[in-house]
Amino acid sequence: MTIEELEQIAKSACQENDKYDFEVNVCMDLACMSQGADRLRDALLKAAEASGKSVLVRRTGCMGPCSSGPLVRVDPEETLYHHVKADNAEAIVNSLGGDPVPELQCDLNEHFDKQVRVVLENAGYIDPEKIDDYISRDGYKALLTALTEMTPNGVIHRITESGLRGRGGGGYPTGLKWGTVAKASGDLKYIVCNGDEGDPGAFMDRSVMEGDPHRVIEGMAIAAYAVGASKGFIYVRAEYPVAVSRLTTALRDARRRGLLGNGICNTPFNFDVEIRLGAGAFVCGEETALIASIEGRRGTPKPRPPYPAVSGLFGKPTLINNVETYANIAPIVRNGGKWFANMGSERSKGTKVFALTGKIANTGLVEVPMGIKLREIIEVIGGGVPDGHTFKAVQTGGPSGGCIPAEMLDVGVSYDALVRLGSIMGSGGMIVMDDTSCMVNVARFFVEFCMTESCGKCVPCRAGTAQMFTLLTRFCTGTGTMDDLELLEGLCETIKEASLCGLGMTAPNPVLSTLKYFRNEYIEHIVHKRCPAGVCNMEAPVEVVA
């Protein structure tokens, strides 16, 4: 495969699509599928055939606003239809070439206007199982350009210049990580993609792997060229069967096209990727635990150093990045580091994909430039809290993150700002809570999660999370005391300081952040044995005198 051949494929793919007068794109991501998108697609195909019009019905990845699903977009007009049922298929096909169907049209301009799409640029526009669709949108161009026109150091320089930081949560500068692996000695090095999206309430990585799998593979191949690796692994959760099957198809197609394998683009560069299934362990998001899992062992973390960059998978230098990080690589190589660095804030460059869920009008996937205010994400893009309830907090970073209250919503989203607020960026889950959520109960929920997910290797995490859970359960059942609260605070500090890996070190975050901003709720539970949100079932309810 050469650049000319690639351009030829792109051209013929475009010509193939141009044969049709209309394109009807159906979102077939999990959320829309759960509302019957597969039946809708069948109905559209049938209606298109019966109408005699020249229509291309395309299956696509997530279009974004999942709460409006199933979604259909008609191109070239870019008319977006929401809540489409199989019964509406005929009306949509009949409207092609005429006026759109008014009752299905949706106005989500405000939702889309504030977004900037880099990682999700293809989502909703390509069929994830067709490599030619990806190639027609500049796919694999970055890889071939890097191989033929850039040195490995040049690639690393460009990534460093872009200011990209790891999208898995830690925010470690990607260029620096690549540089370390490139400098590590040894002929055999590995590339690992962390697709073990364990944060409950986040699904960005799933949508990227399912909606645009080639983008991840291309990013990994570029990384392999830059650091001098020839073998890659994608570690995917077993709970994501569709992602596994899409990636399998994508890898097969990329091999067939000569974009993976030996001597890619007539250069001496060899690279291939294997899929490894996770088996349900949150701790495997930690890089040393993930490596243990790929090696077929229990996912228990190891103390660092040595870092995986020096001694990782099978003892070899290993580069581990998150799905979204790899998904950013191709556009950076294509458009230059400065282009990327122009987006975002001072120390957090580019864009970030968030999974916006919970008590919010427009749930779904959003991609925003770093530095955007939380308020804009929640009130403008998300459409605010529905059903007349009031906003209480937004939870970011999953079980390692914290709850951010209403008075902090004017803070711009960046790695550092969220840490200052007592939360973390995390992989990008953003769960909105309203006045019906009890913050003590929320803290208990996360601590229970960390307790179950603790691998048991180090005592502070194994025993500490269990003790935190006991104390929080006391508060939630109305048997806690002020002494318990003091004990809990001390315990949080100990676990934070003394745990071996990120899971333990961040496990107290949901407790600390709720204590910081919602201390009065804890006091209500302890002193008045009352749950202000009415969630906790107190053993001895105190009668409220009217």
Partner 1 sequence: MPVFTPPPLPSDDKRWKIVNGTMRKNGFARHALIETLHTVQSSFGYLDDDAIRFVARSLRVPLSQAYGVVTFYHYFSLKPPGKHTMTICAGTACYIKGADKLAAAAEKHLGISQGQTTKDGGISLMKARCVGACSRAPVVLCDGEVAGEVTAEQMLEHLERWAVE
Antiparallel, parallel or unpaired: β 79-81 and 72-75: antiparallel
- Please spell the DSSP secondary structure of 163-220, one letter per residue: T-B-TTTT--BHHHHHHHHHHS--S--EEEEEE---STT--HHHHHHHH-HHHHHHHH
Q: Does 212 bind partner 1 (CB under 8 A)?
A: no
Nearest CA among 528, 5, 535 for reference residue 266: 5
Applying CB under 8 A, does 86 fall inside the site for partner 1? no
Residue 238 in the binding site for partner 1 (CB under 8 A): yes
301 binds partner 1 (CB under 8 A): no
Going by C-alpha positions, the residue among 363, 398, 353 that lies closest to residue 198 is: 398
167 binds partner 1 per the rule CB under 8 A: no
* Euclidean distance between CA atoms 347 and 337, whole angstroms: 14
Number of residues near partner 1 (by CB under 8 A):
53
| Given 1, 26, 35, 122, the residue binding partner 1 (CB under 8 A) | 35
Half-sphere exposure of 381 (CA within 13 A, CB side): 29
Residue located via tokens 């490995």? 152
DSSP state of 76: T
Is the sign of the CA dihedral 340, 343, 344, 347 positive or negative?
Answer: positive
Closest contact distance (angstroms) between CB of 169 and partner 1 is: 15
Residue 308 in contact with partner 1, rule: CB under 8 A: no
Q: Does 34 bind partner 1 (CB under 8 A)?
A: yes
Using the rule CB under 8 A, which residue among 121, 132, 133, 199 binds partner 1? 199
Q: Which stretch binds partner 1 (CB under 8 A): 93-101, 164-172, 191-199, 473-481?
A: 191-199
Kindly state the smallest distance separating residue 242's Cβ from partner 1, in Å. Answer: 9
Least distance between partner 1 and beta carbon 452 (Å): 8
255 contributes a contact to partner 1 by CB under 8 A: no
Could you say which of 240, 326, 340, 469 contacts partner 1 (CB under 8 A)?
240
- Contact pick of 136, 321, 423, 437 for partner 1 (by CB under 8 A): 437
Decide if residue 246 touches partner 1 (CB under 8 A).
no
Tokens coding 523: 């006091």
Tokens read off for 296: 């077929």
Nearest approach in angstroms of CB 157 to partner 1 is 35
Between CA 350 and CA 329 the distance in angstroms is 11
- DSSP letter at 349? B
Nearer to partner 1, 179 or 508 (CB): 508
Q: What is the DSSP letter of 470?
A: H
Residues making contact with partner 1 (CB under 8 A): 30-31, 33-35, 66-67, 69, 197-203, 206-207, 238-240, 276-282, 293-299, 314, 355-359, 363-365, 395, 398, 429, 431, 433, 437, 442, 445-446, 455
